[in-house]
Amino acid sequence: MGQPPLLDHNRAAKAEAPRVFLPKQFLTPGLLLLIDEQPAYGYELVQRLAAFGVGAADHGSIYRALNVMESGGLVSSQWERSPSGPRRRRYVATDLGRQLLCRWATSLEQAGELIQAFLGRFREGQDLPAGNDVNGSNGDADRRVLAETQPAATV
């Protein structure tokens, strides 16, 4: 079988999925999880999200999400004095927030099962030798094709 033809980058960029695909509203369950694990200040949540792998969200988006979550009753906050600097808000998950977190976890688990089924069928159809994966570890040609078909990483 010959090499696949090179793709038209403009058409491919519009049609291809991003390298890291997260649900549009993944910030909410991510924040809920982190707050449920340990109540925190906004800046701490920004850092913990980055360590969690959701670091592409800007600070403004995170604070807007926290405000929406508080308005919706998912978290509560209280102003506290900082030992060195201005007062800051400490966010805590509410009972409603924990209930929604459980529903998100169930939904994400189901999505994970769907993704695993997709990847299983993909691997079967690719006739990959043992030890190769879907990330292009089958050599330079696979990495070239992946690079050409995928737009810049977005989260």
> Residue 52 sits in a domain of what CATH number?
1.10.10.10
Mean model confidence pLDDT for the chain? 77
Contact 79, 14 (CB under 8 A): no
3 part of a folded domain = no
11 part of a folded domain = no
List, for the chain, all residue ranges whose pLDDT scores fall below the cut of 50.
1-7, 9, 12-13, 17-18, 137-155
135 part of a folded domain = yes
Give how far the C-alpha of residue 14 lies from the chain's centroid of Cα atoms, to the nearest Å.
20
Q: Tens digit of pLDDT for each residue in 41-70?
A: 998 999 898 888 775 668 888 999 999 999
Structural domain of 87: 16-149
117 part of a folded domain = yes
CA distance 130 to 58: 40
8 part of a folded domain = no
Specify the 3-state DSSP secondary structure of 102: helix
CA distance 151 to 15: 9
pLDDT at res. 51: 85
pLDDT at res. 20: 55
Q: How many domains does the structure of the chain reveal? A: 1
10 part of a folded domain = no
Starting from the edge strand earliest in sequence, which strands make up the sheet with 75-82, in order?
40-41, 85-93, 75-82
Phi/psi of residue 3, each to 5°?
Answer: -75, 145
DSSP secondary structure letters along 113-132: HHHHHHHHHHHHHHTPPTT-
